[in-house]
Chains A and B, each alone.
Chain A
Amino acid sequence: MSEIDLISDKGQVARINQPELVEELTTLNLGPTHPATHGIFQNILQMDGEKIISGEQTIGYIHRAFEKIAERRPFYQITTLTDRMNYCSSPINNFGWHMTVEKLLGIEVPKRAQYIRVIMMELARISDHLICNGILGVDSGAFSGFLYLMEKREEIYEVYEEICGARLTTNMGRIGGMERDLTSTAIRKIKALLETLPAVLREFENLFNRNRIFMDRTINVGPITAERALSYGFTGPNLRAAGVDYDVRVMNPYSSYEDFEFDIPVGQSGDTYDRFMVRGEEMWQSLRIIEQALNNLPEGPYFADAPEYYLPPKKDVYTKMEALIYHFKIVMGEIDAPVGEVYHAVEGGNGELGFYLISDGGRAPYRLHFRRPSFIYYQAYPEMCKGVTISDAIMIMSSLNVIAGELDA
């Protein structure tokens, strides 16, 4: 402690004790309802001035017990749960689950259904990346790009509506195929999207990709090396931004992905800018896939011959005894699945979305575990934001695209 004299205007002297300056850390509580966190998770940050020294995360604020519910529901009802996991790209989750069950049952899905699935999954990927990149723009202070993208996302939702009637929680398709064929309206809407989306994407890229402010805010912010990323279980765009070209669609192709030609964009440094660019490029690749799938859409049935799992057409239910029985059995969940143990992975919006299903021969899974990509890679967040400022930490979080529903299951 040192003593100093303070002299006022009138010449009065006051002697006060001045404490030594000590380095003090502030604790900042970010979340769980902070508007910048896009979802509810809490971060307790130790700050030195504006620099983050360390962080501790708390999650589980919307833990909904998917895995426990899944043990009480017949297989087809679980689709409804998968919708609500990564709700930015529900169709991928739906089809991922359907394919897992089909693998268990040994159902071969006709080509046409596989292609329709690919189209819908890629649309879902686009809508997922649109939100992520749009929000990243918002967090760096550029709101307008987001508005353009949201406009297009509405159009993707219109396609969903045409296919399944819902916008967000799609519950699309059935075990064994699609519930209905692509209508001409749906095809028209997808084609229109293929025509108009590139212009919007290009405009968005013009706004951001070479924007000095945006580059300064994102380049070298929150980088992660490939080695650390793999150790942390990163998958999907975040891993690819770090330079590892792992993509489930190519490594273990499902649903005829081997028929399509597309590139896997990779980044170099795994920083926020790379993640942004990888997502941006993936949207172009998705458009490419959709175009190929639409042009080569095979003719034929859009569902497999699996009467025990695939709901019969309504017309038959009213007129044919057999169809009515199957309908009843499926809806009441009276059908026992074979015994087995399956792991199936699809490339979700955020990475490898895995379904580990154990069936003991009952109507419901004995155990169903979801490998949720954002749950696994969000652990790396404190390490990634060590030493950066709080505003950069927000950017890192939105570039990771952590979806609360998927995080907490």
Chain B
Amino acid sequence: MKPVKMAEAPAGHSGAGFFATSFDQVIGLARSYSLWPLPFATSCCGIEFMATMGAHYDISRFGSERPSFSPRQADLLLVMGTIAKKMGPVLKQVYIQMAEPRWVVAVGACASSGGIFDTYSVLQGIDRIIPVDVYVPGCPPRPEQILEGLMQVQHMAQNESLRRRNSEEYQELMASYNIQ
């Protein structure tokens, strides 16, 4: 048996039989290690995600054991692959259906900026229609890079204030994308 690796406890006060810390941190900790990804795989990068899910790279080690194919139960939208203009509305719909808190990772050059496809049919980066938290470069990114992207999201989830999603700034951001 390999030793079980525990997540580090957040900063706080401890004494005999108690441990006190802030809600933000506990919830952040819990969220970050149980991110359910929604793999929105459209093309080549999706194949690399398959490898990331496989035994070799094993994304489950990071708590993303369960790919959630229903947007309602997903926390993390992993957009992998080229998003054509025809696909744009579908992607936006999926994003809107997700419940807060939700994070978005643009995996690969195509999702981040259109990549090599500077053409009439390809959306030049998904950040034109939905807000993006983490960009993973590469064409396709190696599985290690996708994992790194996931860890970045974990980091964000741990350090996010509970009220961030109610803040005015956030509302403005959403409004700028026409998302209510």
**Which residues in A have some Cβ–Cβ distance to B below 8 Å?**
32-35, 39-40, 60-65, 68-69, 80-81, 83-84, 87-88, 131, 147, 150-151, 153-154, 157, 167-169, 404-405, 408
Known: A62-B82, A84-B43. 8 other contacts (CB 8 A): A33-B90, A35-B67, A62-B42, A63-B84, A63-B121, A64-B84, A65-B120, A168-B47
A408 CB contacts on chain B under 8 angstroms:
84
Flag if A64 contacts B122 (CB, 8 Å): yes
Residue of A nearest to B50 (CB): A150
If A35-B69, A147-B55, A154-B54 touch, whether A65 touches B44 (CB-CB below 8 Å) is no
User: From DSSP, what is the main secondary structure of chain B's interface residues?
Assistant: loop
How far in angstroms is the closest Cβ of chain B from A155? 10
How far in angstroms is the closest Cβ of chain B from A126? 15
| Chain B, 103-133, CB within 8 A of any chain A CB | 116-117, 119-122
Residue of A nearest to B110 (CB): A64
Flag if B87 contacts A40 (CB, 8 Å): yes
A83, B56: Cα distance in complex, Å: 23
A33, B48: Cα distance in complex, Å: 17
Question: 1/0 contact trace for B58-88 toward A, CB 8 Å?
Answer: 0000000001010000000000011110110
Flag if B122 contacts A65 (CB, 8 Å): yes
Flag if A147 contacts B54 (CB, 8 Å): yes
Q: Is B140 an interface residue (CB 8 A)?
A: yes
A40, B50: Cα distance in complex, Å: 15
Flag if B54 contacts A68 (CB, 8 Å): no
20 intermolecular pairs with C-beta atoms under 8 Å apart: A32-B90, A39-B42, A60-B84, A61-B90, A62-B42, A62-B84, A62-B87, A65-B119, A65-B121, A68-B119, A68-B120, A69-B117, A150-B56, A153-B51, A157-B51, A167-B48, A168-B47, A169-B140, A405-B43, A408-B84
Residue of A nearest to B46 (CB): A39
B46 CB contacts on chain A under 8 angstroms:
39
> Which residue in B43, B67, B94 is a CB contact (below 8 Å) of A62?
B43
Flag if B48 contacts A168 (CB, 8 Å): yes
B87 CB contacts on chain A under 8 angstroms:
32, 40, 61-62
If A40-B87, A64-B119, A168-B140 touch, whether A87 touches B56 (CB-CB below 8 Å) is no
Flag if A61 contacts B54 (CB, 8 Å): no
Residue of A nearest to B82 (CB): A62
Question: 1/0 contact trace for B140-151 toward A, CB 8 Å?
Answer: 101000000000
How far in angstroms is the closest Cβ of chain B from A318? 28
Closest 4 CB pairs of A and B: A150-B54, A65-B119, A35-B69, A87-B44
A33, B40: Cα distance in complex, Å: 7
If A63-B121, A69-B119, A80-B116 touch, whether A151 touches B43 (CB-CB below 8 Å) is no
A167, B51: Cα distance in complex, Å: 11
Q: Is B134 an interface residue (CB 8 A)?
A: no
Flag if B51 contacts A169 (CB, 8 Å): no
Question: 1/0 contact trace for B4-40 toward A, CB 8 Å?
Answer: 0000000000000000000000000000000000011
A62, B56: Cα distance in complex, Å: 28
Q: Is B156 an interface residue (CB 8 A)?
A: no
B179 CB contacts on chain A under 8 angstroms:
none
Q: Is B139 an interface residue (CB 8 A)?
A: yes
B40 CB contacts on chain A under 8 angstroms:
33
Residue of B nearest to A35 (CB): B69
Flag if B86 contacts A168 (CB, 8 Å): no
B121 CB contacts on chain A under 8 angstroms:
63-65
Flag if B119 contacts A40 (CB, 8 Å): no
A80, B140: Cα distance in complex, Å: 12
Flag if A150 contacts B84 (CB, 8 Å): no
Residue of B nearest to A88 (CB): B47
If A62-B81, A65-B121 touch, whether A150 touches B139 (CB-CB below 8 Å) is no
Flag if B44 contacts A169 (CB, 8 Å): yes
Residue of B nearest to A42 (CB): B90
Flag if A87 contacts B51 (CB, 8 Å): no
Flag if B86 contacts A167 (CB, 8 Å): no
How far in angstroms is the closest Cβ of chain A from B55? 5
A62, B82: Cα distance in complex, Å: 6
A169, B108: Cα distance in complex, Å: 12
